[in-house]
Amino acid sequence: IRALPGPSTTLPLRSDALECAAVLFHVTFTGQAIGEELRKLKQHSPAGTGLETALRLGTIGKPQAQQQVPHRSHHNELDRYFTVPSDPSQESAVLQARHGPGLLIEGPPGTGKSQTIVNIVGDAIGRRKSLLIVCQKHAALEVVQKRLVAEGLGDRIIMVNDVNKDRTAIIKAVREQLEALHRRATDPLVAIRRKRENTAARIEALEGELDRHHAALHRVDERTGLSYRTLLGELIALETPEPPIDLPALRNPLQKMDTGSLASLEEEVSPLTRHWLPARFEESALASLQPFSADRATQADFKAAFDAFVQAEQLRTEVLLARPCAFEVEDPTPHRTWIAAYAQQFLDLRDLHRSLLAKWLPLFRPAGGSRGQILISELRNIVAGIGDCPHLYHDKLLSPLLARSQDQALTTYIAHGVEATTPAAWWQALNISKHLRKKALLKYLKSSGDSATDARIQALVQAATLEQQLRPLRLALSKLHQELHLPAVAPDSGPMLLPDSRASLEVVSSIAELASRLALAPWADKLDSAAAQGTREAMVRMFATFDDAFARYEVRTSSAHALRALGSWMLEGWVNECGQSIARNEPNQARLEPIIQALPSLAPYQHFRGRAQRLSKEALDTFSLLRTKDAQLEQIDVDLLEQEVRRLINREARLGWKRRMEDAEPDLHLEHTEIATKVASLAELDVEMRSLNRQLLKDDFDLSAIRRTSDWEDITRLTGQRARRLREFIELGTPLGLMQLRPIWLMNPDVASRVLPLKAALFDSVIYDEASQMPVEHALPTLFRGAVSIVSGDEKQMPPTSFFSSKVESDEAEAFDGEMPDEDASEEERDAFEETWNRREIKDCPDLLQLSRTNLPNSTLQIHYRSAFRELIGYSNACFYGNNLSVPVRHSEATVRQARPIEVIQLNSTYVEQTNPGEADRVVEVLAEMWKFPPTQRPSVGVVTFNRKQADLVEDRLEQRAEQDADFREAYRQESERVESGEYMGVFVKNVENVQGDERDIIIFSTTFGRNGQGTFRRGFGVLGQKGGERRLNVAVTRARQKIVLVTSMPINEISDVLSTHRPPSSPRDFLQGYLEYARTVSSAEFANSRSLLRRMTVRRDGKAAMQSQAADDGFSQSVADFVASLGWKVVKSPDDDAFRLDFAIEDPKTGLFAVGIECDAPRHELLASARAREVWRPNVLRRAVPKIHRVSSHAWYHTPEEERDRLRDAIASALECQEAA
């Protein structure tokens, strides 16, 4: 063997030569250290490491359960160490990554995976945890390292690219840092920590208040199933364009109902309103009517009977008023009979008899055994006695004198007179006494003026005898006269006593007859009363009263008869009451008048009455309250009445619910001005907190865990025999506090295996970036070195390169057929099955990402930042990410049409020998056009082809063009050396296999394939048509930030049949055809077709966004849209349902850009659960695309509409003025 010939060796033309030469040298190849460590790992236990989780050794056959990580609001603000601006999905991933066994972070293109890693690094430093970052590609490590340095964390990290070359720099940096650290006299973070505590407390207070308000606004009420926000939207809809009739009294009963009960009530009440309103049902006088048909004939019969009764009652009332009477007669016949027989007699009485009747009538009561009859009997006896007296004995001279004499004197006169006039014996003549008695009689006669003779003595005896008989009769008659109030009887009356007594008897008897006739009257006492007055007028009045009573009886009888005729139409109780009033001579007008007033509503009343029988109490109560507004309801057209009552009921119920919610949730009273103030303070505090975190993380060292400088001297020598290798430095420095000094280490798997001690859980956590490109075997050693494994990647992107891998038949293919064990299998058999299954699944995993999907909880980054237009990520979002990506950019269709973020250039050039020269030339032309602009105005650009040969051809054509065109050559040179912010952004030409990780402003595609020279299109698309081709397509089409230019010759309709069959995509060709068709529709501004295609191509749709977003068609949103339209602006509704959804946007008519976005209340989305995400992060991100975001408060829109409308009007005007000025 000889030395290798030098470069100056020459050979004859057209000759070949062989030389026996070789080069011997010492070299290490990639994977050598990994292979050695895999061998050593057999002797180490993976317990407590990420390797145990990856190999499922801790829970055989049982995937790791999704860990329950507290919501971000549950994390103490002091325990959050974010420095880089982050979105909610990134923050959630950072917080979840703290916990074992680890986390799978799925990061679709442009979602900020490296940004998330930087925050995980900051979180680890803040929590004083060590962290190893492993990337397969050096470029990915550099991206992370640059970001960490930019955050001021350069002194807390170590990146190892080469074990030998980096040794000196690393050890020197550590030694200098130790010296500076131990020279500190005081802790520089005392003020920072104090200020951070204060800031954290204020953030928690503000965020808590805003979150409580937001939660209260959208908290669903258990009874109604509605939130306060939904309630306001419904109220605004109900009050548009004009509020329904106000009926506050209805709110209290309705607020106790749920929506189901309200709906039942609404259906019960509203359809009947048109019948209820004219019926005037509540407290209607028509309730006294019997239910009957409301047809015309029936109404006519009822009205005839009712009118007859009304007329009878009117007449009765008139008679009652005109002819009042102290008594009533129930049967006038006996009264009329008596009056006909005797009334005239009493009217014709002489005054004396009338007077005597008045005086004596009491004597004849009661009839039959009265005092009057006794008097008459006594009077008759007196008359008879007087008649029997010898009136011939009356002496005109002597009788009057004798009447005045005493009874003894009369007896003496009679005895002495008889003695004097009676013949006697002769011896009696000698009786001196006899002579003296006679002499006394003569003397009396002589003194009386009479002659003193025996004849006169005889006359005296007769007169005395007559007086003696008359005197008791005269005395009795005198007493009777006195009792009867007749003229007194003369004490000396004589012959006239008989006619006088007879006259008295006659008078008394006649009066007795009159009294008896009065007693025969039906109401004798009333006639007695009249007679007792002793005047003819009294009797006339009495008989007139009877006439009144007879008249009242007649009208009473007439009313009763009319009432009986009406009785079949009226309720029994009402009829009885009317009958009682008639009997009591009380008017029925109070009962009749309301019915008369209500008669116009008779037909509707009787119609509604039948319907009302089945109405619930709640419905009847509702109608009763509605009756208070009947005047307003009657102004409404009957065809609109039902709908208006529905609005009224629903509005009043919701106002009642609203009041109840406000009483239960005080946070609802927070006004939008207060919210705006708190949001502004929160935004300032969030910025301040991140700045404080940055300062804290930079200098926060655990000095108790870092040994003094002298302890480090042995391992920090840079040169000399005792200088340590880097692996030794790390191994010996770890117990001295190396991981506390520099807790963050970055390296690739091979360097990690060469430089890090093979120690279990050397790091608290290990992060793998771009894990979809990391083979499982490369990750095993570093998994062993971390306690918690955090895997970052995207399963929809390319797997590790497998050009040189070989397929080896599994040694378990025959032993394992995949069938589940029987139900009666033993526990040992089941464990063996699970172990075999796990081992085979792990061996068959193509990359670490796939392996981690079954072992680790996952968290997906959901905010796509890269694309300047939604259309650039729209296809990937729909087809590969289930529309779960939220894109903050937003443009009007006019802007998209003008910018053409996807431009398709259809060439139809010929596909020759796996290349397409026509497309290559057109790619060069497109680049030449771009590069005509000055360097500062040129976008960064990359070219992607569908195979390697086309990429080579494009590069050849670029070189040819550069040789021919000096300006192009200079531009090509400048763009090839382009660097932006320290990162290489030069033009590249790559195929789809190796474009992952690159991004440029503009990506130019050459789809390469097309028809061949014979016009045949063969559906073979290289790697894009093979298994996993859709992942390569996804990588390629997500590289552009601003625009994609698609130069193609492929007949889209012939690529596959997914467009014609309308089935979901399943093969790589389906996805390719779908993307080219999508690009065509966007390029030709067929936006409706592009959206329709995306809906059809969406593979996984879980509907979360639709549920989380506030519908844009509720009453509140529609009211806002109508108001904006009334101002003359065109309102654009957002078709998207992601976290950046705007309810409305207004285009600037001059620029076509969105000038202002309008939010109807704070947005709802799972990413926007916290106030900072909702109120600070989201608006800041959105303003990059929409300069002005104005939020309309539903609370203010409802309670203070004019003020809120003025705010919106001013915001729109201000935004358009600013846009115009810009």
Q: What are the DSSP calls for 838-873, one per residue?
A: HHHHHHH-SSHHHHHHTTS-EEE--B--S-SSHHHH
Is residue 1163 within 8 Å of 1177, Cβ to Cβ? no
Is residue 1013 within 8 Å of 910, Cβ to Cβ? yes
| Domain ranges (residues) in the chain | 1-60+77-156+743-801+826-861, 202-284+613-676, 377-496, 891-1100, 1107-1218
Place of tokens 């296809």: 875
Chain CA centroid to CA 663, Å: 14
Is residue 562 within 8 Å of 312, Cβ to Cβ? yes
Is residue 170 within 8 Å of 755, Cβ to Cβ? no
Residues 187 and 952: their CA atoms lie apart, in Å, by 60
Secondary structure, 3-state, 558-623: HHHHHHHHHHHHECHHHHHHHHHHHHCCCCCHHHHHHHHHHHHHHHHHHHHHHHHCCCCHHHHHHH
Residues 441 and 453: their CA atoms lie apart, in Å, by 10
* Dihedral over alpha carbons 149, 153, 157, 160 (to 10 degrees): 0
Q: Which two tokens mark 854?
A: 């079954």
Best CA proximity match to 832, nearest among 821, 842, 822, 846 = 821
Is residue 1024 within 8 Å of 991, Cβ to Cβ? no
Q: What are the DSSP calls for 417-455, one per residue?
A: HHHHHS---GGGGG-HHHHHHHHHHHHHHHHTTS--SHH
Residue 1129 phi/psi, 5-degree rounding, is -100, 145
Q: Which two tokens mark 112?
A: 């900020």
Is residue 833 within 8 Å of 78, Cβ to Cβ? no
pLDDT of residue 63: 44
Amino acid at 1007: T
Chunked mean pLDDT (size 10), the chain, 1222 residues:
81 84 75 86 89 76 45 75 91 92 90 91 94 90 90 93 91 92 86 94 94 93 91 92 92 91 93 91 89 89 93 89 80 84 83 82 75 81 84 79 80 78 66 75 79 79 81 83 80 80 84 82 79 83 82 88 92 92 89 91 89 90 92 92 94 94 90 92 95 92 88 89 89 93 94 93 93 88 94 76 45 47 63 58 76 88 91 91 88 90 93 93 95 93 94 94 93 92 88 86 94 88 84 90 95 90 88 94 93 82 44 79 91 81 87 87 90 92 89 93 94 80 52
Best CA proximity match to 1074, nearest among 890, 933, 878 = 878
Q: Is the peptide bond before 241 cis (omega within 30 degrees of 0)?
A: yes
Residues 405 and 399: their CA atoms lie apart, in Å, by 10
Cα–Cα distances in Å, from 816 out to 55, 820, 823, 843?
Answer: 18, 10, 18, 14
Best CA proximity match to 195, nearest among 72, 78, 73, 79 = 78
Domain over 891-1100 is classified CATH 3.40.449:
no
pLDDT of residue 1106: 40
Beta bridge partners of 1045: 903, 1004
Place of tokens 């460590």: 37
Is residue 450 within 8 Å of 398, Cβ to Cβ? yes
pLDDT of residue 1107: 41
Best CA proximity match to 850, nearest among 804, 777, 794 = 794
Q: 675-697: buried (b, 16+ CB within 10 Å) or exposed (e) per residue? A: beebbeebbebbebbbebbbbbb
Residues 859 and 427: their CA atoms lie apart, in Å, by 183
CATH code matching the domain that covers 1-60+77-156+743-801+826-861, chosen among 3.30.1330.10, 2.60.40.10, 3.40.50.300, 3.40.50.280? 3.40.50.300
Q: Which two tokens mark 926?
A: 């497109």
The CB density around residue 948, as the number of other CB atoms within 10 Å, is 16
Residues 687 and 665: their CA atoms lie apart, in Å, by 31
Secondary structure, 3-state, 382-403: HHHHHHHCCHHHCCCCHHHHHH
The CB density around residue 1170, as the number of other CB atoms within 10 Å, is 20
pLDDT of residue 1113: 65
CATH code matching the domain that covers 1107-1218, chosen among 3.40.960, 1.10.287, 3.20.20, 2.60.120? 3.40.960
pLDDT of residue 676: 92
> What is the longest distance spanned by two Cα atoms in the chain?
250
Residues 1134 and 1139: their CA atoms lie apart, in Å, by 12
DSSP state of 1175: I
Is residue 1118 within 8 Å of 1157, Cβ to Cβ? no
Chain CA centroid to CA 938, Å: 54
The continuous run of DSSP H or E covering 945 comes out as strand 941-945
Is residue 285 within 8 Å of 577, Cβ to Cβ? no
Q: Which two tokens mark 529?
A: 């009363």
Residue 528: CB partners within 8 Å, gap ≥ 6?
361, 365, 518
Residue 1158: CB partners within 8 Å, gap ≥ 6?
1120, 1124, 1142, 1143, 1144, 1145, 1146, 1190, 1191, 1192, 1208
Residues 633 and 789: their CA atoms lie apart, in Å, by 72
Place of tokens 């402003």: 1001
1-60+77-156+743-801+826-861 and 891-1100 share one fold = yes
Q: Which two tokens mark 56?
A: 């499922």
Place of tokens 């005296």: 460
Residues 1177 and 1179: their CA atoms lie apart, in Å, by 6
* Dihedral over alpha carbons 134, 138, 142, 145 (to 10 degrees): 20
